[in-house]
């Protein structure tokens, strides 16, 4: 019964995805590396966004690059809190699934239940 109640509540709260950049190596510890963020939207082909970071970037530079690339595009709902970037969706379309692909270092992905930020 408790599980049914929790399922009903979480179904009504929109899911978002956190990218945790604390998992990336410190500045000047690894050479250039790349990863791809793959976002799935209902009824649409997957959106793949590639990122590459040099050794001087570090976790802060990587988090800022990802956030700024999405924040400048109209319609994206995203929030940055230190080394964690939360992606809510595009306009009123929720992200159905998000994963990060690549052979080298990449941010950790967590699905969280939070309310999206107010529209700009």
Determine what percent of the chain is predicted with pLDDT higher than 70: 82
Query: What digits encode the pLDDT tens for the residues 73-114?
Result: 788 889 999 999 999 988 888 899 999 999 889 999 999 987
DSSP 8-class letter at 21: G
pLDDT one-digit tens code per residue, 3-61? 655 555 555 567 899 999 999 988 888 899 999 999 999 999 999 999 999 888 899 99
The pLDDT of residue 118 is above 80 = no
- In whole angstroms, what is the distance from residue 105 CA to residue 103 CA? 7
Q: What are the tokens at 3?
A: 């599980």
pLDDT reported for residue 38: 97
Domains of the chain: 14-112 (2.60.40.4390)
Residue with tokens 């709260």: 13
């Amino acid at each position: 019964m408790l599980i049914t109640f929790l399922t009903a509540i979480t179904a009504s709260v929109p899911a978002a995805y956190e990218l945790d950049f604390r998992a990336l190596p410190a500045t000047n510890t690894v050479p250039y590396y790349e990863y791809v963020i793959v976002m799935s939207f209902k009824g649409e082909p997957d959106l793949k966004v590639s990122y590459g970071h040099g050794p001087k970037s570090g976790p802060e530079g990587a988090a800022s690059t990802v956030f700024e690339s999405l924040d400048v595009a109209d319609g994206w709902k995203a929030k940055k809190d230190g080394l964690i970037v939360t992606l809510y969706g595009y306009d009123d379309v929720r992200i159905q699934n998000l994963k990060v692909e690549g052979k080298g270092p990449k941010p950790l992905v967590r699905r969280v239940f939070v309310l999206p930020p107010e529209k700009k």
